Structure 1
């Protein structure tokens, strides 16, 4: 398959691009996201894609959407920041554009972009975790994206790490997202500043503000990069929580590579170093097992577009435990195949 379109649907902006088989983005299109209206959001997606289809011969469209996406990669079951509830987004967009459309969780799409063309392009087993306002990510095992029986696997930020801990937006308490995300970083920074800490007051001065309510994650990251002790400590704490979570992910999935992306990854070694120290400390049987390598994401904000476009080239996997299997072909018409042989599955 040749050119495809990848679309990254965020809470405020829709970003689309024409992507080649080598992962490069050609033309781009952008629209605002009318997040409160299902119909207007679908129209904005179609409008952005149609702008690109008018310029290029496109064979399929991939949409990355924040939320739970069904295993057939067509329906958005739930989206936390948009009005989608059991929304048949793939069918609606395909009916308008008259090209095949697949829908994927946006974090999965970004993880696939890093796997196929970015920091993990040379491996078959990887975990990608994106540390931004929240925590997202995706898991690739044996070169296949992990989706689960119902399409909602690998919600990495919602693994519980503190029973009875901070309330999460998902409704549970103690999710990793509440301790290792940009939101957690800001919460802790503001709390220190409001407590009257002299170190935190110095951090606010470095950030050029006096009101703790004005403190943001990028400000803390920039202050840490400038050597501010309080900001460095805040990032170190976040890295420790992240490393503990990554040790659990490695125990579950045994990846050869762990990729860290998202806005907070701009801190680079300030974050990765503390995460690796905590990872090594908490990895079970650490002296008797291979350890994954750590890497920073390479595709930035384009990962979702690139990943969604590449996934549009790949048919949805069979879901035998969700849909009933098709009736077997009669023996006399079944194609012959050597015992144990399998069709080659290109990456």
Structure 2
């Protein structure tokens, strides 16, 4: 159906070239205003008029059309004051008009959620794959995860309008892993085959880029200064926000950290949890006495906390590992900080809360390494940081074409 409306809004839009374009433009302005209202809030026509510059007749006509399309719900409850009749018409965004799928594909797991347009998660599924063969068929694993989460949330696939998949690889604009690193082949997704169970528009993004998207949304106060989100679990990866925009680079490789192979004192792009496990393994292989137990691949999520517990017990190996991790993180941050000069570096991912005790020592070391040190802090989004960014990306994709869907 056509969105009603008669004249152009007074704020910011380009001049419409036809009555239909003008109506569509005004409808987009009103929907944006209602969409951006706080979750659960309803706006009166007067509030929409004040913030858009449109006339009452136009706003009411557009809101009626948006309600018919399902994007808006209306509340016109009786007044609480006797004798005053009905209250003013109020319009609220229908966050369940469409839904989105988000997934985070790691080396040994796939986590998938279905969420509404305010980012509220309606269902979550996590598949572990420690024993899966390599190269891993992530498409089949992802298809199963999507089907399971839709069933768990009792959601019809027809209600989904967009999806975003985060992968631990640098990808080009089509979502294909870049050549040059065999590790990235673990994250290749066959979109044609995926579309048989997921027929909606799907974006594949680098996981660190999605983490940066999530961190910037959580605190967008410094729009003008660069922000770096540093994923730090199995492998280091960085996402960079500049002037409020995600910086991908010419080939999608911005923030890739394979160069750490050549940085003395770091020597590889392993993140803090994997590096800690390997250091524990090395101590056992050398026969050194320690309270730290033998680790196995896939146990990285808990090893950092066990190392900190060992420090509290006075374990020499644990204390040495913490010292090495501080140096590793400080050297890693210092390398890209000298090129980008970020205002803030957020250590993100499942290890964020665990590594927080390291950060005072990291900051002190950075003050020795750099003339201008960024603020270094740990993320509050935990393991879900990539999923949060993926949900936001999928919602933005759907929003860009909401009135044509």
TM-score, normalization by structure 2? 0.61
- CA separation in 1, counterparts of 2:385 and 2:255? 17
1:336 aligned partner: none
Q: CA deviation at 1:9?
A: 1.8
2:159 aligned partner: 57
Q: SS in structure 2 opposite 1:159?
A: helix
Contact 2:110 2:141 in 1 (8 A): no
1:109 aligned partner: 210
Indicate the larger mover: 40-49 or 131-140: 40-49
Query: Structure 2 vs 1, CA of residues 312 and 92 (structure 1 numbering), >3 Å: closer, same or farther?
Result: farther
Contact 2:157 2:198 in 1 (8 A): no
2:144 aligned partner: 44
Query: Structure 2 vs 1, CA of residues 260 and 310 (structure 1 numbering), >3 Å: closer, same or farther?
Result: same
Per-residue CA deviation, residues 28-47 of structure 1 (Å, 9 max, x unaligned), is 23445566335523532542
**Residue 247 (str. 1) matches residue 334 (str. 2):** yes
- CA separation in 1, counterparts of 2:325 and 2:343? 23
Provide structure 2 residue ranges, at least 5 long, that are not aligned to the other structure.
1-34, 36-94, 399-405
Per-residue CA deviation, residues 213-263 of structure 1 (Å, 9 max, x unaligned), is 899633223323555443133112211121122122222222221101234
2:251 aligned partner: 150
Contact 2:208 2:386 in 1 (8 A): yes
- CA separation in 1, counterparts of 2:286 and 2:128? 39
**Which of 239, 246, 254 is 1:138 aligned to?**
239
Query: Structure 2 vs 1, CA of residues 190 and 31 (structure 1 numbering), >3 Å: closer, same or farther?
Result: closer
**Which of 123, 143, 153 is 2:222 aligned to?**
123
Contact 1:129 1:156 in 2 (8 A): no
Aligned residues: 288
**Which of 188, 197, 216 is 2:279 aligned to?**
188
2:105 aligned partner: 9
Q: CA deviation at 1:7?
A: 1.0
- CA separation in 1, counterparts of 2:334 and 2:328? 10
Give the structure with higher Rg (CA).
Answer: 2
- CA separation in 2, counterparts of 1:81 and 1:149? 18
Q: CA deviation at 1:21?
A: 4.7
Query: Structure 2 vs 1, CA of residues 123 and 30 (structure 1 numbering), >3 Å: closer, same or farther?
Result: same
Q: SS in structure 2 opposite 1:255?
A: coil
Provide structure 1 residue ranges, at least 5 long, that are not aligned to the other structure.
167-173, 317-347
Q: CA deviation at 1:96?
A: 3.5
1:230 aligned partner: 317
- CA separation in 2, counterparts of 1:110 and 1:17? 16
1:342 aligned partner: none
Query: Structure 2 vs 1, CA of residues 30 and 181 (structure 1 numbering), >3 Å: closer, same or farther?
Result: closer
Q: CA deviation at 1:22?
A: 4.6
Give the RMSD, CA atoms, in angstroms.
3.3
Query: Structure 2 vs 1, CA of residues 123 and 93 (structure 1 numbering), >3 Å: closer, same or farther?
Result: farther
1:310 aligned partner: 392
- CA separation in 1, counterparts of 2:114 and 2:295? 42
Contact 2:167 2:205 in 1 (8 A): yes
- CA separation in 2, counterparts of 1:23 and 1:46? 17
Contact 2:168 2:187 in 1 (8 A): no
TM-score, normalization by structure 1? 0.70
- CA separation in 1, counterparts of 2:352 and 2:187? 29
1:323 aligned partner: none
Contact 2:102 2:391 in 1 (8 A): yes
- CA separation in 2, counterparts of 1:82 and 1:47? 24
